[in-house]
Structure 1
Amino acid sequence: MSDDVATGPGPDPSLLLVDDDEPFVKRLAKAMEKRGFAPQTASSVAEGKALALQAPPAYAVIDLRLEDGNGLEIVELLREARPNCRIVVLTGYGAIATAVAAVKIGATDYLSKPADANEVTRALLGHLEAVPDLPDNPMSADRVRWEHIQRVFEMCDRNVSETARRLNMHRRTLQRILAKRSPK
Structure 2
Amino acid sequence: MTQRVFAVAAHPDDIEFVMAGTLIRLREAGYELHYMNVANGCCGSTQHDAATVARIRREEAVAACRSIGAVFHDSLVNDLEIFYDRPTLVRLAAIMREVSPQIVLTHSPVDYMEDHTNTCRLAVTAAFARCMPNFPAEPPTRAVSQPVTVYHAQPHGNQTPLGEPVLPGLFVDVTDLMPRKRA
Higher helix share: 1
* TM-score where L is the length of structure 2: 0.37
Q: Which has the larger radius of gyration?
A: 1
* TM-score where L is the length of structure 1: 0.37
